[in-house]
Amino acid sequence: MEKKTIALASDHAGFPLKEALKKKLTEEGYAVADAGCDSAESCDYPVYAEKGCRLVLEGKADLCVLCCGTGVGMSIAANKIRGIRAACCSDVFSARYTRLHNDANVLCLGARVVGEGLAWELVTAFVTSGFEGGKHARRVGLIADLENRE
């Protein structure tokens, strides 16, 4: 089975974690689309949330991982983009089930919340899980209906 392309993006606080994940994903045979940022110099996370998410929406990446200090800011910004279902996770169960039940296409991580080891476990759970469909498809459809009403 062909490995997915994973988009990565971060702000300055998430930059070291993004770089560590990029290295690990590449070592594991995933293609990586890096949407920035490119240093630990202060920057605005909404800019990079959008850049990473656009790669998914344009079909240039299958999934996206966004890193900031807590993961929350990236999650809020990403979820403002039509077609994105982003989840901020710090446990493996949530990272797996947000794909299985919510068909999330973006995982948000807090570099100040999770270490590199746990972050890798979260990313692995996220990228190796697939959407179950069934009753969950109806619920994801209801989320899309909410999004389309706004």
CATH number of the CATH domain containing 134: 3.40.1400.10
- First and final CA of the chain: distance in angstroms? 38
Residue 1's pLDDT band, with cuts at 50, 70 and 90, is low
Catalytic residue check, 12: no
Distances (CA, A) of 61 to 4, 29, 30, 127: 8, 14, 11, 12
* Tally of structural domains, the chain: 1
Catalytic residue check, 53: no
Per-residue confidence (pLDDT) for residue 150, from 0 to 100 = 73
Q: Tell me the mean pLDDT in the region 92-99.
A: 98
Pairing of β 31-34 and β 63-68: unpaired
Task: Name the pTM for this structure.
Answer: 0.96
Q: Are 89 and 95 in contact (CB under 8 A)?
A: yes
pLDDT digits (tens, 9 = 90+) for 34-87: 999 999 999 999 999 999 999 999 999 999 999 999 999 999 999 999 999 999
What is the residue-averaged pLDDT of the chain?
A: 96
Annotated catalytic residue within 68, 88, 89, 108: 68
Q: Which domain holds residue 74?
A: 5-149
Q: Rounded to the nearest 5°, which phi and psi values hold at 108? A: -110, 135
Per-residue confidence (pLDDT) for residue 68, from 0 to 100 = 98
Q: Are 6 and 30 in contact (CB under 8 A)?
A: yes
Q: Tell me the mean pLDDT in the region 116-141.
A: 95
